[in-house]
Amino acid sequence: MKKTVIILFVLFSQLSNAAWLTSFKDAQKLSLASNKFMIVDFWATWCGPCKKMEYDSWSDKKVKLVLENYIQVKIDIDENRGLANKYGINSIPNMFVMDGNGKVVYTFSGYHDAEELKKELEKFELSIEFLSVDLINFYNNNNYNTALRVFQKYLDYSLFVDKDVRSKIINIGGDYLSESKKLLSKKAENYVEIKQKIDLYNYAYDYNYVKLNDKLSSYKDNDIVENNLNSYYFLKLIVAKGLNLSSLKQIEERVMKIEDFGYFEKKIDLIFSEKRIN
């Protein structure tokens, strides 16, 4: 871990004065080192709207000010066909907001004037320091456990961002949950426990309490692996509060018995605070 931090720090020092990078991998590492999302501009030398954006939009002083909160990378689709295909680029200009592992947070395409571009960029000019350690761990070691940890961190992070972008943050967390499920081997010693945890969290923080209730109702209490009981009752409490179920008081009493109840209580308060309700 220390070696990784040193490498990232050196890379950050070398590249911090650069504006637009052309190496996707360098941009990823710098994103992880600087706790910023990447803004990836897929373009080509023959693209008229791309050139117009370069002169009229990306160079605008106000846009440049917002760009300071991003790691900026331009990808020529002719020179990076594999990467363009990976992200399904079939028209340009095409802009992606991504984290350091290349997971897509948000996309927008077509010509944008300076004001339009600024508004799009302002949505995700966020510090992702809260996610830093887990994003780096996943970058260094892609496995079900590191993916699951990033998923859980993104869920927690979603509670602190503006509700207008919250769904995007939850969705990128969902990408890591899917990744965890894909990487989980049936030969893993704790396969049943992790598989159940992944299934339990499938609708977590989706604010669709009916779906989450349907999912949880498919389980009986004695079906839940012991290490998943806290998560199970936490999710049941979300449902009970969200749907105002008659079982709310009973579930609250059960959740209060959890050893680290204070942690869950804070999350519940954030989920149901006035500014989080749509």
Task: Let me know whether 155 and 177 are in one domain.
Answer: yes
In a domain, 242, yes or no: yes
- Residue whose pair of structure tokens reads 């893993």 in the numeric block: 188
Q: Is the pLDDT of residue 186 over 80?
A: yes
Task: Let me know whether 75 and 168 are in one domain.
Answer: no
Task: Let me know whether 165 and 270 are in one domain.
Answer: no
CATH number at residue 94: 3.40.30.10
Mean of all residue pLDDT scores within the chain: 89
Where residue 163 falls among pLDDT bands split at 50, 70, 90?
Answer: confident
- Backbone dihedral region of 88: left (phi > 0), alpha (psi from -120 to 50 degrees) or beta? left
Task: Let me know whether 38 and 144 are in one domain.
Answer: no
Task: Let me know whether 241 and 258 are in one domain.
Answer: yes
Q: Which of 57-66, 82-91, 226-235 has the lowest mean pLDDT?
A: 226-235
Task: Let me know whether 72 and 42 are in one domain.
Answer: yes
Task: Let me know whether 172 and 62 are in one domain.
Answer: no
In a domain, 151, yes or no: yes
Q: Is the pLDDT of residue 14 over 50?
A: no
Task: Let me know whether 178 and 215 are in one domain.
Answer: no
Sign of the dihedral through C-alpha 76, 85, 35, 271: positive
Where residue 203 falls among pLDDT bands split at 50, 70, 90?
Answer: confident
Q: pLDDT tens for residues 249-270?
A: 998 888 888 877 887 888 888 8
Task: Let me know whether 168 and 212 are in one domain.
Answer: no
In a domain, 116, yes or no: yes
Sequence-ordered list of residues with C-beta below 8 angstroms from that of 134, at least 6 positions apart, any chain: 146, 149, 150, 153
In a domain, 179, yes or no: yes
Determine the structural domain holding residue 24 and report its residue range.
Answer: 2-122
Q: Over pLDDT 90: what percentage of the chain?
A: 66
Task: Let me know whether 234 and 277 are in one domain.
Answer: yes
pLDDT at residue 10, rounded to an integer? 46
> Which helix or strand (DSSP H or E) is residue 119 part of?
helix 114-122
Query: Would residue 47 show up in a list of annotated catalytic residues for this protein?
Result: yes
- Choose the catalytic residue: 33, 38, 39, 47: 47
Torsion of CA 71, 74, 80, 84, to 10 degrees: 80
**pTM value surpassing 0.85:** yes
Question: What are φ and ψ of residue 100, in 5° steps?
Answer: -65, -10
Which residue from 140, 132, 119, 143 is spatially nearest to 3, judged by alpha carbons? 140
How many domains are there within the chain?
Answer: 3
- Choose the catalytic residue: 8, 21, 38, 50: 50
Q: pLDDT tens for residues 110-127?
A: 999 999 999 999 999 999
Q: pLDDT tens for residues 43-60?
A: 999 999 999 999 999 999
Task: Let me know whether 37 and 117 are in one domain.
Answer: yes
Task: Let me know whether 16 and 100 are in one domain.
Answer: yes
Q: How far apart are CA 275 and CA 226, in angstroms?
A: 34
